[in-house]
Structures are given as structure tokens and as C-alpha cells.
């Protein structure tokens, strides 16, 4: 064994031991998914906002944070930070480390390096970019993306050597000292020195360096001009930046050195690239700084949410964004150059790094299509996280992913299926494709993709083939190294005979694992021997066990010292269930991780599990290919290593959850429009409630303060109080109309699907759903029953007056109808509540790619509509009947009966019921309109009732008429007694007045003059109390009339001891001067009887008591009321 192989083996062993001994931080917050928006990254960079280079990096980092949905704190300083100032900022960040989860830095100086080391020692995960890559691994930086400055110098020298035989070279530096520039210079010098030894024999290449001060324009021009004055003695001149290049080109042209001296430049600005195209500059060296901006953010975001990150490349210690040589034949297009200058804006962003409108058209990443073809079949659980993370990355980058998973095939046809799929995707025009290379069968299809200029990345298996095919990158574990590390560990554990078990035939990655395992045993065997590799069944446990026992050739003997390397976790169940019980002394280790592997490690049946971090094998190619699709920038490292890492202990419960759901990220679902009621409408609802309650309070206060006034006493105050109470009850339904929530069950944050967890708000909203019909229904019933009682009271008095009988209307006469209305309303509501109450439900209106984008919620139940129909039908019937009664009595003087106001109020309630119900049914799916219509219906209905029944009375009070009894205004003229007109002596009344007084139909018996001055049927209930003695011909004084006048409903009280004369035949009056008719004679007789019997007419309150003084009215007459009067009339 050569000393080179021994050293390599020792280095690998040291690396594996170091990886295994590193503590692993447990991932958190994975249940049910990772909410990335809760994570914060902080960036401290030395570049200033006065440099477009750093403005472009800042824009790239911010776009990456948007892609990953994490928070990024980054503000460039106005100018380049000094090392001391930057170190102070990092130290300050350490003191506030609880405010962020990872730190991204540049390391331009030793002072900054010391501060970064302190941050890492304090437990802060650190990622880096641009400057400081040479120190990244030594201080513990987890990932660093940069141009290797030493390699950049080397690449420039090698490109000059490719162009011409360089004997004299010059490197023009800026006078700013930095580790990066110094490394660049060393690389340039060392490369020419190495080329001298290898290529050019004894002819040495002389490399000179000069330093120019960028701020001293005269000195700079003078120094560079002097270089070209000396007979163009330099074959190669490398300049550090664009400004220096302009001076060098001018000097070269002035001294005619164009055909002799070749000029190169670091960077790829539009000026440098235009000079390359013109042929004045041989090449530019690009460091792809957009990659330096986005990749550290991606790495940090993945690490803080999963604790997973790519291993730093063993050879480079850095993920190489450069150097890339830009020649005339590979200069980016003008559009690509402009986009690089504008930092590749991603739609909907259309701004450049300076904040101005970008010239480059923004990239719509939805149009990017990435393909994937992998050999992981559906029954192999190892591939579950690979496919899951690839889809997650596609979601992060907002690109289309064409990735399918093949079914198992016993005839190994899967490789041919892969080949066909790879070719089809590339010919279909995908923007990039990632593949596994498990067999040479797929190679021709991959070559076809390269012919079509489709970028190809390989993952998992086939790393060597990937390198041969010159694919962009290979992402995965170095299989040979992992097998080698497994062999060294098992030998150290006492293995004497080693077997490598392959569960899939011909897979290159498995072959490489076994080859590494074999080499480790042979080189560090300590007496152990490699017994060979053989195939085993992957899905039959008994067959698996028999195959292993046959290979060991000692099925029933002692298996001490036997070591089995399981090349995949799919073998673990069969190993655990079949082999361990029979051969407990066997040693084994397994590739990959699974719950079975963790159980084996915990139980001592497995020495280790090898984690190749399949999660990163799935998402990394999607990220890199997407970036390449719109920037044409790729990492220079061919191998991006995801492992190996040896796991020696089972994970925590939190990590098991994370592994189990493949670190699922909470999906950024399209924002769902729940069609909730707007805040403005909620305010409107409360305002409506306030208006109604305020008006009710005003009415109540007025009634209490004016309770002794005639205008209140005549209006049946008890019913008015009931109306106010009912209005308050129905008005309180308004705020309950606005109760709403999302779904009955809590939505899954990631998918939007409903879980089994009940929404904690649903109980309250369900209660509000039934509170609305209860409050509105009872409020309506209370209000309407009181109004109906008032109408019924007027009707009873009206009928009594028409029938010439006295009627005392008491509360019990109308209370029964109120009880009936309330009982029916309550019965419907109670049945509804007990049988099928309303509950909150939400209906999906629109979906987008499986996500609900719009929905609306409402209260409903299977039988709810029937109950609503029953309530509405009952209301309509009641209102119609009330309208009929109110119409019959609508002409009675509103001063006493309120018939007109009641009619209008009932009519408005009826219209509200009839109009609102169909409107509500039509707009139910629009929560705002639905709420507004119901709210306005309650408002207008209650407001109108209060307006019609209370406001006129309040207005009278304000005018000072609240205590004036219109009945006291005498309507009988006792002073005017015409003797020759055929009228009743001393009485001037119309036919209807006579009819109402004496109980007959006298229509048409009096002429128009009499009618115009008299009072019609509307004066029913206003018949005046008249004290008419046998000698009374005197006119009542106004004071006496005011004192003795009735306040409310009146009825005639005939004297039972006297009878009226029989009604004579009626003969019409042909003219005013005709002889006295029979009616005149009859009326005179009635008057005499009236005088003799001292008939009294009194007024009643609601309780039947008399109002006013009753001089001349005896007690017996007062008590002769009600049914006794009816008997007398009979």
C-alpha cells in the first residue's frame, strides 16, 4: 500500500470521526409544519451602498429571502466598512443573538475573523460570502459561497498562457489591502511559476506588480502610461477593475501595443464585456456575485428550519461562484448583461438595485419548468424525503416541477423507462433536469439533453459518470467514502468477516459503497477479511434471511465476528425480524435513516446509520437549476456533498416528527377570501342598535316624565311600554347578526384542509345563530301583540258604540290575544331549538390548485328553512289580520284611537316581511349585503313603529297640547234653537250624529247644510257628556264643559226606567222650508224623554273609571254599566 493511499485513508477516517462526534442540534417547530416566517436572518457585509456591486448582492439576498419566506435584516452602510467598524457590528449582533436565527457575513480582515469566531462560539450559525473563504472551515462557518481569489489569479494566468507564450506579465493592483486581493496576486504569480516548471522548460515568466491609488487620478495615469512606454515589453497585463482598465487601454492604444500586449480584467461589468467583444480585452474574470447573494440565504434558511446543510467541499472549503473566464465566444447577451446589472428582477418586482425602474424585463418564474427522473421506486422509503423536498423547493421557487415516481418492476425495466422519460423531457424543452445515473442505460438520453443545451444535474448515484459527462453538478454523498468509513467503524467494533448486502442489482451507488467497504477492510482489517458482496431480496423477509444465511454458510452456527453492511434502510425490517433473533451476536450497520434504523440503534442491533441527507438531494438541484434558468450562473464545484454523517444515537421526539413529515413547510396558501363582514358594516350595525336603543330610551323617558298628561293617559301606556320592550328585544338581534368565524374545524396551516380539532369559536357563533331568530321573533311577537291589542281595543269600543251599548274594555279583554301570539311564536322557536337548531357552516365558492380561495359562511340547518317559513307565514297572517282590523277602524279620530298610526305601522311591518325575505334569499352568499339587508330591516321596522306611535305624541307635548282633551271642545251648540227649520230644538247635528246617539240609520234625511256643520262617524267615542234637566235651555259654559267632558271612549247610558218613543216612519225633506217631518217630531219626543230621565253620558279610563266631575249624575247611574246596559238595551 502506497503512502499516498495511507494518508488518504487516515484523512477520511479523521473526517468521519469528526462528523460523528459533532453534536447535532435538534430541529424544532415541525408540528404540523415549519412556519418559515417565524425565522430571522441577519446579514453584516463590508460593502457599501455606494458600490453597484454590493447593491446587486443586496438585491439578490432580499429576493432569496422572499423565495424562502424568511425575514432578512440587511442594510448596507453608505460606504465600505472599516474592519474595526464591521467587527463592532458583529459583536453587537452577538449581544442580540436572540433576535435572529443565523448570521451571514463577509470576512475581509483578521479583525472581522475574530469577531465571527466569537459569534460561532456563542452558538450562532454563521454562513459567509465573497471574502474570507480561506478561513471558513477553520473557524466553523457552515457554508461559504465566493469566488476563490487564489483560483481567480490562477485562472487569469492560465488563460494568458492559453492565448500566448507569456514571458513578461504585469498585475496592476489597487492600493487597498485585503486578504482577497493578496490571494488573487499569489494565485497569479504561483500559476506562472508552475507553468514555467511544467511547460516552458527553463524559460521563466517574469511577473511584476504595481499598485495604483484610485483617488489619485494623475498618479494612476502616469504609472500605467509608464508601463506601456517601455516598448510594450509585457505580453500580459491584468487589471483589477473597470476604471484601471480604461486607463490601460488608452495607454496601450497611445503606444501601439494592441497587437503585442494582451490585457485581461477581473469582473464582468458591461464596459469590460463590451471591450471583450470589440477585441480590445482578451477576457474578463467573473465571480458571479448574484450566486454569492442568493445561495447563502438559501443555505441559512434550510439550516435554521431543518438543521441540515451541505458539507463544505473537502478540496475547496468553499462553494465556488467563480472564477469563470468570459471570452469573446461566451460573452453574455446584451439582455443578460442588463439583467445582471438590474440584479435579475423577479416578477412582480420591476425595480433595479438603485430603486429605479429596471430595464431588464422581470422574470416570471412560473414559466420555468424543471424536470426530474429518479430511480427511486414507490416502495423504497429512502426516496420519500427526496421527492418531498424537491416538491417543496419547486414551491419555494414558484416553478413547475415535472417529477414522477416509478412503480417496482421485477424485470429491471425501470432503467429503460428512465431513459425514455429523460429524453422526452429534454425534447419537450424543460429549462433544466436532474437525474440519477443508476445504470449506463440512461447515458445516451443524458447526452441527448446536452445536445439540446438543457442543463443537467445528477444526484445520488453516478457521481463518476456525471464527471465524465461534464454535467453541471453532482449532488449527493460520495458513496465510496461512506462505504470506506463504514468499514473502518465495523473493524474497530470487532468485525472479522465482512459482507456487503445489495438490495438492488447493478446500482452504481451501491457498488461504490461496497467497494469502499472492501477497501477499508483490506487496508485496516486487523485480521478481518472481506467475504464479498451479494444481492438480497428487498420485499420478502424470509427470502432475505435465507439468502444471508446461505452467504454466511453457517445458518445455525456462531456468528460472532460476522459483520453485515446493509446498503439501504429497506433491509432493516427483514434483518431485525429474521436474523437478529437467530443470530444476536451479529454486527451490522446500515445506510440511510428510518424509524427502523433508529429503533435498531436504540436497541443495540445496529452500530450506526449513515445519513446521506436525502432531503438536500431533493431540493438542492431544484434551487440551482432554477437560478441557472434565469441567470445562467452555476457553481463551479462539480461535487456538492450531502454526507456521509454517522448517526450513533436515536433522535429526539421533535426530530422524529420533523423526519416523519419530511420537514414540511407551512404552505403559503393563496389568501382565502372568507367574505367576512367588513368593519364598516359592523360599525353600522352597532350604530343602528344605538339609534334604536337611544330612541327607545327617549320614548321611555318621555312617557315617565309625562305620565299624567292627557296625551299619555289616553294612549294606553301599558301597551306602549310593551311595544318599547319588544322593540328593544328585536333590536338586540342586530349585533348577533355579525357573529362569524372561519370553519367549524381548525384548518391545517400547510394544506388548508380541515382537521379534527373543533374551532374554539364555533360554540359562540352557533349560539349567535339561534339568538337571532329568538330575539327577533320574540321581539316581533311582543311588539306586534301590543299593537294588535290596541287595535282590538279600538275595535271593541267601536262596535259597542255602533250597537248603542256601553263597553268597559279591560286588559283581560285583549291580553288573551297577546298570550296566543307569544305562545305560537315561542312554540315554533322552541321546537326549532330542540329539533334542528341553526349552526354555522362555511361554503366554498372558488378553488385554485386545490386551495380554497373564496368562501362564505352562514347559519343553517337541515330543517332551518322550514322553521323560518313557519315563522314568516305566522307573521304574515297576523299582520294581514291586523291590517283588516286597523282598516275597519282607521277613520276613528286618531286623538283617541291611534287607528291611522297603527294601520301605517302594521302596513310597514307587513311590507318589511314581504320584501326582505326574498332579498335575503338572493344575497345569502354575500356576507356584507346579507348582513346589511337584515340589519336595515330590523332598523327600519322598529324605527318606523317608534316614529309613528310615539313621535306625534311627543310633538304635541312640545307644542303644549299634551294635556288638552279634544272631547272638551263642545260640539253641540245649545244656544242656537231654530224654530222654523224643522230641526230638533237647540241641537245642530248631522244624520250620522243622530244615528250614533239614537241608534238608527238616518242617512239622507238631512240636507247638505246640516252635514257640513255637523260631525260624522269619526266622532264615535267623542259623544259629549250632557246634563240636560227639564228646564235646561242654558248653554254650558266652556269651563263646565272642560271639567265635565270625557277623555276617552264614550257610550250612551240610557235610563232603564224610561223608554224612547217608537221610531216614526221617515219622510225625506224636499227643501228647507217644508213642514216639520216625522223625524223632527220624533227627535223632540226623544229630547223630552231625555230631559225627564236625566240621561247621563260619562267618559271612561282604561280601567272603566270615570274621568272629570259628575255633578248631577247619581251613583246608581255610574254603576249601571257593562252587561246591565246591554240587558237594558235588549
Residue 1107 scores a pLDDT above 70? no
Least confident of 61-75, 765-779, 807-821: 807-821
Q: How far apart are CA 940 and CA 850, in angstroms?
A: 43
- Specify which of 716-720, 811-815, 1058-1062 reaches the highest per-range mean pLDDT: 716-720
Task: DSSP for 439-508, please give it.
Answer: SGGGHHHHHHHHHTT--EEEESS-HHHHHHTT-S-EEE--HHHHHHHHHHHHHHTT-SEEEEEESSTT-H
Would the pLDDT of 1024 be above 70? no
Can the peptide bond before residue 32 be classed as cis, meaning omega within 30 degrees of 0?
Answer: yes
Helix/strand/coil percentages in the chain, nearest 5: 50, 15, 35
Whether the pLDDT of residue 233 is over 80: the answer is: yes
363 DSSP assignment: B
Query: What is the reported pLDDT for 176?
Result: 61
CATH of domain 364-477+613-642: 3.40.50.2300
Tens of pLDDT, residue by residue over 707-728, are: 888 888 877 888 889 999 999 9
Share the mean pLDDT of the chain: 80
Q: CATH for 478-611, among 3.40.50.300, 3.20.20.70, 1.10.3720.10, 3.40.50.2300?
A: 3.40.50.2300
Q: Where do the CATH 3.40.50.2300 domains begin and end in the chain?
A: 147-287, 364-477+613-642, 478-611
Predicted local distance difference test score (pLDDT) of residue 196 = 63
Residue with cell 478540496: 315
Average the pLDDT over 48-68 and give the result: 93
For residues 125 and 1012, give the distance between their C-alpha atoms in angstroms, rounded to a whole number: 105
**How far, in Å, CA of 34 to CA of 216, rounded?**
54
897: pLDDT strictly greater than 60: no
User: Considering only 12-16, 60-64, 291-295, 620-624, which range has the smallest mean pLDDT?
Assistant: 12-16
Q: What pLDDT is recorded for position 128?
A: 95
pLDDT at 602: 92
Using CA atoms, how far apart are residues 662 and 382, in angstroms rounded to an integer?
Answer: 11
Could you tell me the fold of the domain covering 679-959? Rhopdopsin 7-helix transmembrane proteins (1.20.1070)
Q: Give the model confidence (pLDDT) of 345-366 as tens digits.
A: 999 999 999 889 999 999 999 9
pLDDT of residue 175: 63
Quote the pLDDT of residue 10: 40
More confident residue, 205 or 271: 271
Q: Say yes or no: domain 147-287 is CATH 3.40.50.2300.
A: yes
pLDDT exceeds cutoff 90 at 1039: no
- pLDDT for 817 equals 84
184-194: string of b/e by CB count within 10 Å (b at 16+)? bbebbbebbee
Q: Give the contacts of 403 (CB within 8 A, at least 6 positions apart).
A: 371, 372, 373, 374, 387, 390, 391
Confidence of residue 893 (pLDDT cuts 50, 70, 90): low
* Beta carbons within 8 Å of 642's beta carbon, 6+ residues apart: 310, 311, 475, 476, 477, 612, 613, 614, 616, 617, 620
Question: Which pLDDT tens digit goes with each residue over 521-574?
Answer: 998 878 899 999 999 998 889 999 999 999 998 877 889 999 999 999 999 999
Q: Helix, strand or coil for residue 619?
A: helix
Tens-place pLDDT, residues 277-320: 999 999 999 999 999 999 999 999 999 999 999 887 767 778 99
pLDDT for 997? 40
Residue 594 makes CB contacts below 8 A (sequence gap 6+) with 381, 382, 569, 572
What local confidence, expressed as pLDDT, does residue 205 receive?
75
Residue 69: pLDDT band with limits 50, 70, 90: very high
Reported as a single tens digit per residue, the pLDDT across 729-771 is: 999 999 999 999 999 999 876 677 888 899 999 999 999 999 9
Strands 369-373 and 400-403 turn out to be parallel
Q: What is the pLDDT of residue 890?
A: 62
Instruction: Identify the pLDDT of residue 1037.
Output: 41
Please, which pLDDT band fits residue 221 given cuts at 50, 70 and 90? confident
**Other CB atoms within 10 Å distance of the CB of residue 494:** 12
What per-residue confidence (pLDDT) applies to 119? 94
Q: Where in the chain is the domain with CATH 1.20.1070.10?
A: 679-959
Per-residue pLDDT of 14-33, as tens digits, reads: 344 344 334 334 445 777 78
Per-residue pLDDT tens over the stretch 910-927: 888 888 888 888 888 788
Residue 958, pLDDT > 80, answer yes
Farthest CA pair distance, the chain: 165
Reading the block at residue 26, the C-alpha cell is 435538534
Cβ-Cβ contacts under 8 Å for 606 (sequence gap 6 or more): 572, 588, 589, 590, 597, 600
pLDDT-wise least confident of 530-534, 621-625, 898-902: 898-902
- Confidence band for 806, pLDDT divided at 50, 70 and 90: low
pLDDT confidence band for 969 (50 / 70 / 90) = low
Does residue 595 register a pLDDT over 90? no
pLDDT band of 944, cuts 50, 70, 90: very high
The DSSP annotation for 757-823 comes to EEPTTHHHHHHHHHHHHHHHHHHHHHHHHHHHHHHHHHHHHHHHHHTT------HHHHHHHHHHHHH
**Model confidence over 364-390: pLDDT tens digits?**
999 999 999 999 999 888 899 999 999
Residues 149-159 have pLDDT tens digits of 888 999 999 99
pTM above 0.75, yes or no: no
User: What does the pLDDT read at residue 989?
Assistant: 40
Asked if residue 52 has pLDDT above 90, the reply is: no
pLDDT band at 1044 (very low <50, low <70, confident <90, very high): very low
Amino acid at each position: 500500500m502506497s503512502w499516498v493511499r495511507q494518508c488518504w485513508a487516515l484523512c477520511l477516517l479523521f473526517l468521519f470521526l469528526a462528523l460523528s462526534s459533532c453534536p447535532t442540534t435538534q430541529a424544532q417547530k415541525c408540528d404540523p409544519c415549519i412556519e418559515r416566517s417565524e425565522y430571522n436572518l441577519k446579514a453584516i457585509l463590508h460593502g457599501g451602498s455606494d458600490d453597484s456591486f454590493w447593491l446587486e448582492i443586496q438585491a439578490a439576498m432580499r429576493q432569496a429571502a422572499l423565495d424562502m419566506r424568511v425575514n432578512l435584516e440587511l442594510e448596507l452602510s453608505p460606504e465600505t466598512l472599516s474592519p474595526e467598524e464591521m467587527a463592532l457590528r458583529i459583536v453587537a449582533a452577538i449581544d442580540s443573538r436572540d433576535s435572529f436565527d443565523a448570521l451571514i457575513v463577509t470576512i475581509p480582515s483578521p479583525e472581522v475573523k475574530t469577531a465571527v469566531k466569537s459569534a460561532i462560539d456563542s452558538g450562532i450559525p454563521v454562513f459567509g460570502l465573497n471574502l474570507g473563504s480561506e478561513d471558513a472551515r477553520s473557524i466553523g462557518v457552515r457554508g461559504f459561497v465566493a469566488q476563490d481569489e487564489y483560483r481567480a489569479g490562477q485562472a487569469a494566468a492560465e488563460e494568458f498562457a492559453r492565448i500566448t507564450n507569456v514571458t513578461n506579465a504585469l498585475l496592476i493592483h489597487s492600493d487597498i489591502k485585503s486578504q482577497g486581493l493578496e490571494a488573487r496576486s499569489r494565485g497569479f504569480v504561483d500559476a506562472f511559476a508552475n507553468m514555467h516548471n511544467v511547460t516552458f522548460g527553463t524559460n521563466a515568466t517574469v511577473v511584476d506588480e504595481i499598485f495604483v491609488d484610485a483617488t489619485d487620478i494623475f498618479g494612476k495615469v502616469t504609472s500605467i502610461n509608464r508601463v506601456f512606454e517601455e516598448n510594450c515589453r509585457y505580453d500580459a497585463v491584468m487589471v483589477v477593475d473597470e476604471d484601471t482598465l480604461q486607463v490601460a487601454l488608452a495607454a496601450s492604444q497611445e503606444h501601439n501595443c494592441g497587437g503585442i500586449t494582451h490585457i485581461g480584467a477581473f469582473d464582468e461589468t458591461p464596459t469590460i464585456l463590451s471591450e471583450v467583444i470589440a477585441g480590445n480585452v482578451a477576457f474578463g474574470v467573473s465571480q458571479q456575485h448574484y450566486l454569492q447573494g442568493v445561495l447563502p440565504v438559501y443555505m441559512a434558511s434550510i439550516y435554521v428550519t431543518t438543521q441540515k446543510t451541505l458539507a463544505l467541499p473537502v478540496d475547496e472549503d468553499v462553494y465556488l461562484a467563480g472564477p469563470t473566464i468570459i471570452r469573446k465566444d461566451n460573452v453574455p447577451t446584451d439582455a443578460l448583461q442588463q439583467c445582471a446589472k438590474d440584479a435579475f428582477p423577479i416578477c412582480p418586482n420591476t425595480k433595479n438595485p438603485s430603486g429605479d425602474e429596471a430595464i431588464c424585463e422581470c422574470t416570471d418564474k412560473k414559466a420555468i419548468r424543471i424536470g426530474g427522473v429518479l430511480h427511486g421506486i414507490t416502495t423504497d422509503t429512502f426516496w420519500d424525503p427526496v421527492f418531498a423536498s424537491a416538491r417543496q423547493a419547486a414551491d419555494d421557487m414558484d416553478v413547475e416541477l415535472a417529477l414522477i415516481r416509478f412503480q417496482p418492476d421485477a424485470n429491471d425495466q425501470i432503467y429503460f423507462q428512465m431513459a425514455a422519460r429523460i429524453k422526452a423531457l429534454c425534447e419537450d424543452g424543460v429549462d433544466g433536469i436532474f437525474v440519477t445515473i443508476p445504470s449506463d442505460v440512461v447515458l445516451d438520453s443524458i447526452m441527448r439533453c446536452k445536445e439540446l443545451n438543457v442543463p443537467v444535474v445528477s444526484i445520488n448515484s453516478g457521481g463518476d459518470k456525471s464527471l465524465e459527462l461534464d454535467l453541471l453538478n453532482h449532488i449527493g454523498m460520495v458513496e465510496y467514502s461512506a462505504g470506506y468509513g463504514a468499514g473502518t467503524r465495523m473493524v474497530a467494533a470487532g468485525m472479522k468477516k465482512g459482507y456487503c448486502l445489495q438490495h438492488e442489482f447493478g446500482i452504481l451507488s451501491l457498488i461504490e459503497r461496497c467497494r469502499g467497504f472492501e477497501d477499508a477492510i483490506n487496508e485496516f482489517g486487523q485480521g478481518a477479511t472481506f467475504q464479498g458482496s451479494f444481492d438480497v431480496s428487498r420485499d420478502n423477509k424470509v427470502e432475505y434471511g435465507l439468502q444471508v444465511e446461505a452467504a454466511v454458510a453457517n445458518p445455525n452456527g456462531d456468528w460472532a465476528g460476522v459483520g453485515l453492511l446493509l446498503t439501504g434502510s429497506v433491509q432493516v425490517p427483514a434483518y431485525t425480524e429474521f436474523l437478529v433473533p437467530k443470530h444476536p451476536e451479529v454486527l451490522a450497520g446500515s445506510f440511510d435513516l428510518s424509524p427502523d434504523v433508529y429503533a435498531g440503534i436504540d436497541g443495540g442491533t445496529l452500530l450506526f446509520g449513515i445519513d446521506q441527507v436525502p432531503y438536500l438531494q431533493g431540493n438542492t438541484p431544484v434551487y440551482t437549476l432554477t437560478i441557472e434558468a434565469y441567470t445562467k450562473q452555476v457553481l463551479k464545484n462539480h461535487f456538492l456533498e450531502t454526507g456521509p454523517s454517522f448517526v450513533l444515537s436515536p433522535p429526539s421526539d421533535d426530530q422524529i416528527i420533523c423526519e416523519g413529515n419530511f420537514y414540511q413547510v407551512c404552505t403559503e396558501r393563496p389568501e382565502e377570501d372568507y367574505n367576512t363582514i367588513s368593519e364598516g358594516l359592523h360599525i353600522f350595525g352597532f350604530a343602528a342598535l344605538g339609534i334604536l336603543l337611544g330612541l327607545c330610551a327617549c320614548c321611555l323617558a318621555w312617557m315617565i316624565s309625562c305620565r299624567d298628561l292627557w296625551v299619555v293617559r289616553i294612549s294606553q301606556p301599558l301597551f306602549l311600554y310593551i311595544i318599547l320592550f319588544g322593540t328593544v328585544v328585536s333590536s338586540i338581534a342586530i349585533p348577533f347578526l355579525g357573529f362569524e368565524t372561519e370553519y367549524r374545524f381548525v384548518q391545517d396551516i400547510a394544506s388548508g384542509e380541515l382537521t379534527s380539532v373543533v374551532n374554539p369559536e364555533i360554540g359562540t357563533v352557533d349560539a349567535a345563530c339561534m339568538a337571532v331568530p329568538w330575539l327577533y321573533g320574540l321581539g316581533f311577537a311582543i311588539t306586534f301583540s301590543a299593537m294588535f291589542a290596541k287595535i282590538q281595543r279600538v275595535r271593541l269600543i267601536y262596535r259597542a258604540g255602533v250597537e248603542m251599548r256601553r263597553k268597559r274594555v279591560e286588559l283581560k279583554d285583549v291580553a288573551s290575544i297577546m298570550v296566543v301570539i307569544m305562545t305560537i311564536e315561542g312554540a315554533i322557536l322552541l321546537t326549532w331549538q330542540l329539533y334542528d337548531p341553526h349552526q354555522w357552516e362555511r361554503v366554498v365558492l372558488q378553488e385554485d390548485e386545490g386551495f380554497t380561495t373564496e368562501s362564505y359562511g352562514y347559519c343553517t340547518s337541515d330543517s332551518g328553512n322550514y322553521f323560518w317559513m313557519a315563522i314568516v307565514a305566522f307573521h304574515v297572517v297576523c299582520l294581514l289580520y291586523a291590517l283588516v282590523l286597523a282598516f275597519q277602524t282607521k277613520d276613528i279620530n286618531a286623538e283617541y284611537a291611534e287607528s291611522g298610526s297603527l294601520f301605517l305601522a302594521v302596513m310597514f311591518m307587513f311590507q318589511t316581511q314581504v320584501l326582505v325575505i326574498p332579498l335575503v334569499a338572493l344575497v345569502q352568499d354575500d356576507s356584507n349585503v346579507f348582513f346589511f339587508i337584515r340589519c336595515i330591516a330590523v332598523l327600519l321596522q322598529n324605527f318606523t313603529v317608534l316614529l309613528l306611535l310615539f313621535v306625534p305624541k311627543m310633538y304635541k307635548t312640545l307644542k303644549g297640547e299634551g294635556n288638552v282633551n279634544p272631547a272638551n271642545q263642545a260640539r253641540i251648540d245649545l244656544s242656537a234653537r231654530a224654530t222654523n227649520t224643522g230641526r230638533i230644538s237647540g241641537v245642530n247635528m248631522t244624520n250620522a250624529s243622530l244615528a250614533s246617539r239614537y241608534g238608527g240609520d238616518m242617512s239622507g234625511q238631512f240636507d247638505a247644510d246640516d252635514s257640513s256643520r255637523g260631525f260624522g262617524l269619526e266622532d264615535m267615542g267623542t259623544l259629549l257628556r250632557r246634563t240636560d234637566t227639564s228646564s235646561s235651555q242654558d248653554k254650558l259654559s266652556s269651563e263646565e264643559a272642560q271639567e265635565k267632558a270625557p277623555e276617552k271612549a264614550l257610550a250612551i247610558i240610557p235610563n232603564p226606567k224610561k223608554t224612547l218613543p217608537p221610531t216614526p216612519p221617515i219622510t225625506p225633506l224636499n227643501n228647507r222650508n217644508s213642514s216639520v217631518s216625522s223625524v223632527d217630531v220624533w227627535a223632540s219626543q226623544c229630547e223630552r224623554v231625555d230631559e225627564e230621565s236625566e240621561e247621563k253620558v260619562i267618559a271612561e279610563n282604561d280601567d272603566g273609571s270615570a274621568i272629570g266631575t259628575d255633578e248631577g249624575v247619581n251613583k246608581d247611574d255610574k254603576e249601571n254599566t257593562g252587561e246591565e246596559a246591554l240587558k237594558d238595551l235588549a
